[in-house]
Structure formats: C-alpha cells, structure tokens
Amino acid sequence: MGENAWAYISTGTADELTLRSNREALERLRLQGRVLTEMSGAQTRLELLGDAYEYPVLLAPAAYHRLLHPEGEVATALGASAMRAGMIVSTQASVPVEEIARRATGPLWFQLYVQHDRAFTKSLVQRAANAGYRALVLTVDVPVSLRNREQRAGFRLPPGVAAVNLRGMVPPPPPRAEPHESEVFRGLLDGAPTWKDIAWLRSISPLPLLLKGIMSPADALRAVDEGVDGIIVSNHGGRALDTAPAAIEALPLIAEAVAGRVPLLMDGGIRRGTDVVKALALGARAVLIGRPYLHGLAVAGPLGVAHVLKILRTELEIAMALTGCATLRDITPEVIWR
C-alpha cells in the first residue's frame, strides 16, 4: 500500500502507547500447554446473537477499504464470505451498504457512528436493516480523537474514495467557537451520542444492538442496564484514548462485572491463534481483527482477506490442540499460565 494509506491504517492516537500496549499485554500472557487430550470431534463452532458461526473471528469495522483495493468493502466481503466469517461494515465504508450486502454470502453486521443529523442516522440504520444486516454495532469510543503520526504524514483521502453512505446528510454546522473558545467542547462534540441515544436506537432498530469501545466495568454495567445485546471490549486499536490500557487487560474486569448477562467480544492486537485463545480464556465469546485483514486486502484483495482468516483459524485450532481444548467451551481461565 502507498505511504498515504499506510499512514491512515497503521497509526494510533498521540504517542501510540495504547496501540503498542495492545500487543505487549497479549505477548506477556502465557498459555498452559496440556497433553494427551482426546480431540476427536474437536471443533470451533459458536452461536452469537442467534446465528451460528464456524469460528470465533470476525472482521472489525474499518473505514474506506477502497484506500486499499479498488473494489473496497466488496472485495473484503467476498474474502470473508469465502471463509464464512462475519464482517462488520463501517458507517464510513467506501461502497454502499446495499451493494456489499448483495455481494456477500456470509453474515454482515452494520457499525454505526451516530451522526449529528439524527433523522439521517435513523434512515441509515433502516437501510442496513432492510439490506439484511444481522446486528447493529454502535461505536462509542471516538467522539473526538487525534492521530499525530497520520497528521504529520499529511494523510488525505484520494479522489474517488469517500464515505458514500453518508451522502445526502445535512452537513454538520461549522464550529461555532470563537478563537478564544474551546473547539472541542463547542464544536467537535456537538451532536455526539450519549446514553440517552441507546433507548432511542433500540426503539428505531429491529436489530440486536452491541456497543463497541467499552473499556470500563461501570460503562459495561450501564450498557447491560440499558438493554444492549452485546459488548465489544475495545480501545479502537489504539485510535481512541491514548494511555488507555490494552483491551486484553480490560476484558477480565468487564467479564467479571457483566457475569455472562450479554456476550462479550474483544479486539485490539489479535494477530495469532494463541491471541484468540487468550481472549476467549479471559471472557470473550469471539474476537475481531482489524489491521491484519486490511493488510491482506491491500496485498491480494478477496484472496488476501480469506488467507488471513485461514491462517488465523488454523493457528487457533493448533493452539486449541496444544492446550487440550476440543471446543471453545473448554477454553477457560485455566488455559492461562499463572
């Protein structure tokens, strides 16, 4: 991929401490190997929000796949479908949600960024539901953020790549702040969603609702109280609050608070099958991957995405065999070496 796209894909916020810690924390964890376990009939199937999945890895929502491949999200969906993996399509997808749905044969979820224009937001949710998306993922962790490395690289969307699903929206009003006033509090945060929007979203959408970007047990409990159907523990791949802990560090605390009332998913730094095992051992039902499949997409389009999934799935099966886990249910906290 070109330098411009690389600046967008690879960066995290500010000093990228959280971006790095996602990997470092996973690398610090050790797995407890087990031997001579009966593995006949071993498999990786799971049920999530009423649908069956063959293995616990989904593609995380990411904006602008056409930065990486001319067919953008359609190419990604073809790769995911070939490997029967779930894919979460971003609000900032560079291909219309309906077109992605027409071409995909695997399950799609829709990731929502609530827009300041709530009527437009509602129509977007309805478009996704009408197109057959299976769940709504509300991302809550980046009302504002600043990626300095991307800024320094002078990243710009190339001509022809845009958030096409947001076309037709009333543009946000220009920031109202006078030069001596706060641009953040009086401009960028205008129209950002709050807890009040959760009940509203549930009232306008027939789809199961998940919150993505929860890192605090208190927020997780509030989300359960608000009636969400699932939580994605995530720091946005280090692109939201810098100096936040690794997602894998927040996961067990949130799992303890939520106590199985809704399924937990997790993302941030998942690169190997052993990482998937670690996340499941600490309370996740499934994981999402972001940058790995974006790299696959850039290298080889649908085949690249499928290949990344294939590698990860195979590694997961090997890690399960070597930790004596014949099914996902066998992946308990005892798998983590202490």
Ligand X SMILES: Cc1cc2nc3c(=O)[nH]c(=O)nc-3n(C[C@H](O)[C@H](O)[C@H](O)COP(=O)(O)O)c2cc1C
Backbone angles phi, psi at 109, to 5 degrees: -115, 160
Instruction: Decide if residue 266 touches ligand X (CB under 6 A).
Output: no
Selecting among 65, 236, 295, 307, the annotated active-site residue is 236
**Considering only residues 81-100, where is the footprint of ligand X by CB under 6 A?**
90, 92
CA angle 224, 60, 265 (to 5 degrees): 35
In the complex, the smallest distance separating the C-beta of residue 307 from ligand X, rounded to whole angstroms, is: 16
Instruction: Decide if residue 76 touches ligand X (CB under 6 A).
Output: no
Instruction: Decide if residue 290 touches ligand X (CB under 6 A).
Output: yes
Task: Look up residue 128 and give its two tokens.
Answer: 């996704």
Q: Phi/psi class of residue 201: alpha, beta or left (left: φ > 0; alpha: ψ in -120 to 50)?
A: alpha
Instruction: Decide if residue 301 touches ligand X (CB under 6 A).
Output: no
Q: Which is nearer to ligand X, 60 or 131 (CB)?
A: 60
Instruction: Decide if residue 63 touches ligand X (CB under 6 A).
Output: yes
Instruction: Decide if residue 291 touches ligand X (CB under 6 A).
Output: yes
Instruction: Decide if residue 58 touches ligand X (CB under 6 A).
Output: no
Q: For residues 81 and 78, what is the distance between their CA atoms, to the nearest angstrom?
A: 5
Instruction: Report the residue closest to ligand X, judged by CB.
Output: 290
In the complex, the smallest distance separating the C-beta of residue 253 from ligand X, rounded to whole angstroms, is: 18
Task: Look up residue 201 and give its two tokens.
Answer: 């979203």
In the complex, the smallest distance separating the C-beta of residue 244 from ligand X, rounded to whole angstroms, is: 12
> Which of 193, 208, 245, 268 is the binder for ligand X (CB under 6 A)?
268
b/e for 225-259, b at 16 or more Cβ within 10 A?
Answer: ebebbbbbbbbbbbbbbbebbbbbbbbbbbbeebe
The yes-or-no answer on residue 236 being catalytic is: yes
Report whether 107 contacts 88 (CB < 8 A).
Answer: no
> Which of 106, 107, 230, 237 is the binder for ligand X (CB under 6 A)?
237
Instruction: Decide if residue 289 touches ligand X (CB under 6 A).
Output: yes
Residue with tokens 């309906």: 98
Element (H, E) at 18: helix 17-28
Instruction: Decide if residue 313 touches ligand X (CB under 6 A).
Output: no
In the complex, the smallest distance separating the C-beta of residue 134 from ligand X, rounded to whole angstroms, is: 16
Q: For residues 159 and 157, what is the distance between their CA atoms, to the nearest angstrom?
A: 7
With a CB cutoff of 8 Å and minimum separation 6, the contacts of 243 are: 14, 15, 17, 18
Instruction: Decide if residue 125 touches ligand X (CB under 6 A).
Output: no
Stretch that binds ligand X, among 54-62, 144-152, 187-195, 313-321 (CB under 6 A): 54-62
In the complex, the smallest distance separating the C-beta of residue 25 from ligand X, rounded to whole angstroms, is: 12
In the complex, the smallest distance separating the C-beta of residue 154 from ligand X, rounded to whole angstroms, is: 17
> Which of 56, 61, 106, 296 is the binder for ligand X (CB under 6 A)?
61
Active-site positions? 236
Binding site for ligand X (CB under 6 A): 8-9, 22, 60-63, 90, 92, 111, 139, 212, 234, 236-237, 239, 267-270, 289-291
